[in-house]
Chain A
Amino acid sequence: MPTLIKGKEGQWNCNPDTEEVDWTNVDTFDAGKPLMLKCDDEPDAGMTAASLIGVEFPAFNDGRALSLAVLLRTRFGFSGDLRAIGEVHEDILHYMVRCGFTSFQLSPDRNPETALGVLTPYSGCYQGSVVDPDPAFRRLSRGSVNS
């Protein structure tokens, strides 16, 4: 059984994925239903009415779903749970977090403990992101070095 990693009040938890989600796709979707997107689907404003959006990673090194997540969050203002599904690999999680994913259906062959340990390997990043829209040059007073 895959593992579901979810954020709650600043804490990440992982549990066996026992949620039985009745996914719809772009053709069968209605407001209030969970919506499953392929990484090359075009996002639109109507999707923000979904109770949950899943985005499928067809391969762990395919970055299209990252851009799709950014668009759903920043362009269309989706504020519900955004879930990474498919080939979800622990080493991509930190990118996914910053692109606005809030839960992860980890592939069955991945180790959940390892995944929890690599969710946020960096204390700071140069660019803005969905999580923190300001780049380092707006967040920090840059240029001071304690040698």
Chain B
Amino acid sequence: MYQYDNFDRQFVQERVEHYRAQTQRYLDGKLSEEEFLQLRLRNGLYVQRLAPMLRVAVPYGTLSSQQLHKLAEIARRYDRGYGHLSTRQNVQFNWPELEEVPDILEALASVDMHAIQTSGNCIRNVTTDEFAGAARDETIDPRPYCELIRQWSTNHPEFDWLPRKFKIAVTGAAEDRAAIAVHDIGIRVYRDDSGTPSFDIYAGGGLGRTPVIGAAICTGLPVKHLLTYLESCMRVYNRYGRRDNKYKARIKILVRAMSPEGFREKVEADWVHVKDGPGTVTDEEIQRLESAFTEPPFESLEEATDNLQNQRVAHPGFSRWLAQNVGLHKQSGYAVVTLSTKVTGIPPGDVSDEQMDVVADWADEYSFGELRISHEQNFVLPHVPQASLFELWERAEAAGLGAANKGLLTDMICCPGGDYCSLANAKSIPVAEAIQRKFDDYDFLHDLGDLDINISGCMNACGHHHVGHIGILGVDKKGDEFYQISLGGHSGHSGTTASLGQIVGPSFAREEVPEIIDRIIGVYLDNRVETVNGEAESFLDCFKRTGIEPYKERVYANADKR
């Protein structure tokens, strides 16, 4: 993991003091609500429907055990004993006192953490593959470049007051677990023919009310030019992005208006002036950051195949968990473990202080003190010896983190929705819970296979509903909460190109949603065929083959009787 040096520490400390003074001026009546709003947002603080919400940055989703223990302590001391894992790999606290936020930021700074630029119209926390540095399909660990971008984008003098928020995601694996196609800027890093890191840049992707797949605007960019190229992209956006209408202010609207070619030309015209300038990344800096993400001291272990097989036979629950939540590691004898937060009755992504503490302990015991937060709102232990999997599973089961549902229907992505968020049109957590209650048979869920249900409480799409195989969007119909359902979206993982869902038709009342999901699944089960390798066709493949018509027919059948 990247370790702060004195420079990082001093900066974060000065930021805490800066924000403390701003808070004091607000409390003294010297800053208006609107003025303070802009400042607190850039320090992670929203004021939500019921209380403030503090969003803590977890850079590219990587945390140390010590940092997670600190988050648990903050949850106990300043919140109501829980926190929320967000779809941007961050941690949110729902009940802090505005006056106490500087103290919380001080506590975060003590473990080299902060909440800088986790909201507001600025460059947000950079996200990446939650399995970075561990996954077997990875060609290059993206985190050194994420850290490079994090530092460059922090308190940038020119780009902290953009037309709208700006999200950058990076991936370095064959399977894009970072959903780069639906980010303002998506970056793919790979090794070129000579083995040198090379970057493809995509711009203008995004969700929200106008979902767009990003366009490639630069390929084969060498690492030394990464920051100057991003600088030019940001400058074009900052100068020409729309500011008259917040719904048309994201970069995707600008890229569409200019066309990707037009945008690229503007960027290139600016870039010739900064390329090879002082912003060019030095070899020393690249080496410094790459050396911060070297492999942990793995032992030389055999693949524990036989032993795991015996444990699987004896314990069907373990077998399911192994099949669903445990992934291949690039180091022989190790595995990547996802600890699911998706348990019926608990809002997706919510974790208690005790759970944070035990997960931090497991990170120390099983995973070199390191853990991750995934954009699917789960914890990941990236480096677990296979011989410890059974023990870890037993402990995870006991702590309510052992659900064997990663990637399944019940592993829903879900925003906080109308229960917390003042932007939401509708609640999302009760919808997730009702669906989990309807589909609680493990065997049935496993038979269904990978199925992403994503739920957003409004157009802002924090629950990524456009890229769910089944997307659910809360809408307001004359003051009542309704839900629009879309099908066939995909975030770009599992080697499939990202796609946006198609809306089925008129929206549904909340209590109808589980039944509608059941009908949709029924259409899939009736239509799916066996693939050439004898497996069941996936929901997504089946949908692409049949199209939306059979779903429309069944979903709206007997509509008058519903």
A residues sitting closer than 8 Å to B (CB atoms) are: 40, 60-64, 66-68, 70, 74-75, 89, 91-92, 94-95, 98-99, 111, 114, 118, 121-130, 133-138, 140, 142-146
Beta-carbon contacts under 8 Å, B228-273 to A: 235, 238-239, 243, 273
Name the residue on B nearest A66 (C-beta).
Answer: B158
Contact of B288 among A61, A62, A89, A143 (CB under 8 A): A143
With A114-B30, A135-B278, A138-B278 already in contact, the answer to whether A126 and B158 are too (CB < 8 A) is: no
B161 touching A95, Cβ below 8 Å: yes
A127 touching B277, Cβ below 8 Å: no
With A122-B14, A133-B278 already in contact, the answer to whether A62 and B161 are too (CB < 8 A) is: yes
Would you call B22 an interface residue if the criterion is a C-beta within 8 Å of the partner chain's C-beta atoms? yes
B157 touching A61, Cβ below 8 Å: no
Contacts of B157 in A (CB 8 A): 66, 94-95, 98-99, 125, 127, 129-130
Would you call B160 an interface residue if the criterion is a C-beta within 8 Å of the partner chain's C-beta atoms? yes
B35 touching A145, Cβ below 8 Å: no
A68→B240 CA distance, assembly (Å): 11
With A121-B14, A124-B11, A128-B278 already in contact, the answer to whether A142 and B288 are too (CB < 8 A) is: yes
Distance from B245 Cβ to chain A, minimum over Cβ atoms (Å): 14
A98→B161 CA distance, assembly (Å): 14
Besides A64-B239, A121-B14, 6 other A-B contacts (C-beta < 8 A): A61-B161, A111-B30, A122-B18, A123-B10, A125-B157, A137-B288
Would you call B49 an interface residue if the criterion is a C-beta within 8 Å of the partner chain's C-beta atoms? no
Name the residue on B nearest A96 (C-beta).
Answer: B157
A130→B274 CA distance, assembly (Å): 12
Contacts of A61 in B (CB 8 A): 38, 121, 161
Contacts of A138 in B (CB 8 A): 278, 282
B239 touching A67, Cβ below 8 Å: yes
A sample of 16 cross-chain residue pairs with beta-carbon separation below 8 angstroms, ordered by A number, consists of A61-B161, A66-B238, A67-B239, A89-B35, A91-B35, A91-B38, A91-B39, A121-B18, A124-B10, A125-B157, A126-B151, A126-B154, A135-B227, A138-B282, A142-B5, A145-B3
B38 touching A142, Cβ below 8 Å: no
Contacts of A143 in B (CB 8 A): 5, 288
A143→B152 CA distance, assembly (Å): 16
Beta-carbon contacts under 8 Å, B2-38 to A: 3-7, 9-11, 14-15, 17-18, 21-22, 25, 30-31, 35, 38
Contact of A140 among B7, B18, B155, B279 (CB under 8 A): B7
Would you call B390 an interface residue if the criterion is a C-beta within 8 Å of the partner chain's C-beta atoms? no
Would you call B368 an interface residue if the criterion is a C-beta within 8 Å of the partner chain's C-beta atoms? no
A133→B227 CA distance, assembly (Å): 14
Contacts of A118 in B (CB 8 A): 18, 21
Contacts of A40 in B (CB 8 A): 239
A34→B466 CA distance, assembly (Å): 51
Top 3 nearest A-B pairs (CB, nearest first) are A63-B161, A98-B157, A137-B285
Would you call B159 an interface residue if the criterion is a C-beta within 8 Å of the partner chain's C-beta atoms? yes
A63 touching B39, Cβ below 8 Å: no
B7 touching A142, Cβ below 8 Å: yes
Would you call B156 an interface residue if the criterion is a C-beta within 8 Å of the partner chain's C-beta atoms? yes
Contacts of A92 in B (CB 8 A): 161
A92→B288 CA distance, assembly (Å): 32
Would you call B328 an interface residue if the criterion is a C-beta within 8 Å of the partner chain's C-beta atoms? no
A127 touching B156, Cβ below 8 Å: yes
B residues sitting closer than 8 Å to A (CB atoms) are: 3-7, 9-11, 14-15, 17-18, 21-22, 25, 30-31, 35, 38-39, 121, 151-152, 154-162, 227, 235, 238-239, 243, 273, 277-279, 281-282, 284-285, 288
Distance from A47 Cβ to chain B, minimum over Cβ atoms (Å): 16
B121 touching A91, Cβ below 8 Å: no
Distance from A105 Cβ to chain B, minimum over Cβ atoms (Å): 18
A125→B154 CA distance, assembly (Å): 9
Contacts of A142 in B (CB 8 A): 5, 7, 285, 288
With A63-B238, A114-B25 already in contact, the answer to whether A124 and B7 are too (CB < 8 A) is: yes
Contacts of B235 in A (CB 8 A): 67, 70
A126 touching B155, Cβ below 8 Å: yes
Name the residue on A nearest B237 (C-beta).
Answer: A67
Distance from A17 Cβ to chain B, minimum over Cβ atoms (Å): 21
With A114-B25, A143-B5 already in contact, the answer to whether A137 and B158 are too (CB < 8 A) is: no
Distance from A74 Cβ to chain B, minimum over Cβ atoms (Å): 8
A67→B14 CA distance, assembly (Å): 25
Interface centre among A68, A121, A124, A143 (most CB of B within 10 A): A143
Distance from A53 Cβ to chain B, minimum over Cβ atoms (Å): 17
Contacts of B22 in A (CB 8 A): 91
B279 touching A75, Cβ below 8 Å: no
Contact of A144 among B5, B121, B161 (CB under 8 A): B5
Distance from B319 Cβ to chain A, minimum over Cβ atoms (Å): 45
Name the residue on B nearest A99 (C-beta).
Answer: B157
Contact of B161 among A66, A114, A125, A134 (CB under 8 A): A66
A34→B38 CA distance, assembly (Å): 32
A122→B284 CA distance, assembly (Å): 25
Contact of A62 among B151, B243, B277, B285 (CB under 8 A): B243
Name the residue on B nearest A145 (C-beta).
Answer: B5
Contacts of B285 in A (CB 8 A): 137, 142
Contacts of A66 in B (CB 8 A): 157-158, 161, 238
Contact of A134 among B10, B38, B155, B278 (CB under 8 A): B278
Contacts of B156 in A (CB 8 A): 126-127
A137→B279 CA distance, assembly (Å): 9
Name the residue on A nearest B236 (C-beta).
Answer: A67
Contacts of B25 in A (CB 8 A): 114
B281 touching A137, Cβ below 8 Å: yes
Distance from A57 Cβ to chain B, minimum over Cβ atoms (Å): 10
Contacts of A126 in B (CB 8 A): 11, 151-152, 154-156
Contact of B162 among A60, A63, A114, A134 (CB under 8 A): A63
Distance from A35 Cβ to chain B, minimum over Cβ atoms (Å): 18
Contacts of B18 in A (CB 8 A): 118, 121-122
With A66-B157, A121-B14, A135-B278 already in contact, the answer to whether A60 and B7 are too (CB < 8 A) is: no
Contacts of A91 in B (CB 8 A): 22, 31, 35, 38-39
